[in-house]
Structure 1
Amino acid sequence: MSRDIWDPAAYARFADERSRPFFELMARVGADRPDYVVDAGCGSGELTVELARRWPEATVEGFDSSPAMIKQARELGARPGFEVADVTRWRPDRPVDVIVSNAVLQWVPTHRDVIEHWVEALSPGGWLAFQVPGNFDAPSHRLIRELCASPAWSDRLGDFDRGAPVGGPVDYLDLMVGFGCRADTWETTYTHVLRGENAVLDWISGTALRPVFDRLGPDEGGRFAAELAGPLAEAYPSREYGTPFPFRRIFVVAQN
C-alpha cells in the first residue's frame, strides 16, 4: 500500500466486537512466565496493554506498519513499547517467548513465509498465536468486489479482488506441524449485533474498504460507500434489536 490507509477512529468503532477474538485466542496460550512478548500488527495498542497486564514481568512490545496507529498506541503510556515496522521485514534481536498477531496476516500475501520466520524466532517452547478473518466469501466482501467491477468503477477498481487470502484450520494445522510445532487450530463464526444506521457499512469502512478508499479521493470514496450501502442493507437486514452480522474467524495457537 502506498500510504498509511488506516484510520484508528474508524477501526475503533466496534472495539468490543473486534477484541473478543483476541481474548479467546489468548485463552489458549499456556505461557507461564514469558520473558519477551511481541504483538505483531498491534494497531492502536489497547490489546498490547492487555498482554502487559497478563505478564507484568515480561518485556512486552508491539509493532504496526501504520504510523497513525503507532502514534495513538504511544499515547497509552510508557509500557508496552511500540514501534513502526512491517510484518514481512520485522526480525527480533533475541528469541521471543510469545508472538501474537490479531487480524493482521490476511493483509499479507506472503504470510505463510512470515509465519515460518516467526516460528524460527521463538525461544524453545515458545508460543505463536494468531487469528485471521475467514469471511471473504461473505456478502460484505462479495458486494465490494461486484461494485468494484461495475462499469462506474471498473476503470480504477476493476482489478480489486483479494480472493480468499487465508486458509482454513486444517491448512494452518498442516503448516504448523510442518514447521515442527504442536498446534491447536479452529474456527468460530460470531454473530455480532451491530447498531446504528448502515452498521455493516460502518464496520467494513474500518477494514475491508480501506484499500478501496486508498485508491479514491474523499468525494469518490463517499460516493462508492453510498452506492454500497443499499446492497449491504439488503444482504444484512436490520431488526429491532440491531443488525446481525455473521463473521467467521480462523484461530491458530502453536508451540514449538
Structure 2
Amino acid sequence: MTKLPSLKGLRAFEAAARTGSFAAAAEELSVSPAAVGQLVRSLEEQVGRQLFHRINRGITPTEAGLEILPRLSLAFDELQGVARQISGAGARARLTVSAPMSVVSGWLSQRIGEFVTLQGPTDFFLRTDDDPVDFERNLIDIRMSYGRFHYRTHDTEEIATDAVYPVCSPDFLDRHGPISSAESMLNLPLIHTDWGPTAASFSSWRDWFEAAKVTPGRKTGHGMIANSSMAALNLAVSGLGITLS
C-alpha cells in the first residue's frame, strides 16, 4: 500500500492553493505563514514534485498542484461533513437529489428556490448522473429519471409527461423552409439523441414519424447523433438540422 503523505501538509497545500497565499492559509488554519510554508515544502519532498511556483513572495500552483487541488478540496469538504455528522453540530437535514443534466439545467433548477423556501434551511446536494444510479453507494434520496422502467424495487411516481416537438433554428428554416408537413422533413437533416443502452426509454425520430402517421423509411436513422438532448438542441440552434425537444 502506498504511504499516504502528511495530512497536515495536504491541508496546508489545499488552503494555500485555494486562497492564493500562505498568509491567507495561515489565518484559516490558525498557524503562522512560515508554518504553512514549511508544511508545503515537506509535502513536496514527500511526493517528489513541486506543487507551487514561488515568484516574488507570491505563489501559484504548478501543473501538478492544479491536478490534485479539486480532488483535495472535495476530500476535505467530505471530511468536514463527516465531522459535523459525528458531532451533530448545527445538524440540518441533507437531501440528495440525482437527475440527468438536461433536467437539472432546465426544469429542476428553476424550482429549487421554491422548495428551499417551503422546506426551510436544508443541506441540498444536487447530483447530475446518468441512469442507472447506485442509491446506497451515493446516498441518493431522490432520483429523477426519464422513462418508467428503472428502479423497480423503489417507490416511483410520475411527475410529468413530455410533449415532443421538432425544433430547428430560424436560419435553418430560412434555408430549408417552408416545412409544411411531417413528410417534408423526411429528406431534411435530422439530429438524433442516443442516450445509450442504459436509457429506460426515449423518443426517437422513428417514433415521432410513426405517431404522425408517416412511414419513416431508411433515411430516418441517418444524420448527426448526440448522446444528450442538450447537445442535440445545441446542434439544432447552430443551424445543423432538426431535433426533437
Give the TM-score, by structure 1 length. 0.21
Structure richer in helix, relative to its length = 2
Q: Which has the higher contact order (CA 8 A, sep 6+)?
A: 1
Q: Which has the larger radius of gyration?
A: 2
Scaled by the length of structure 2, the TM-score of the pair is 0.21
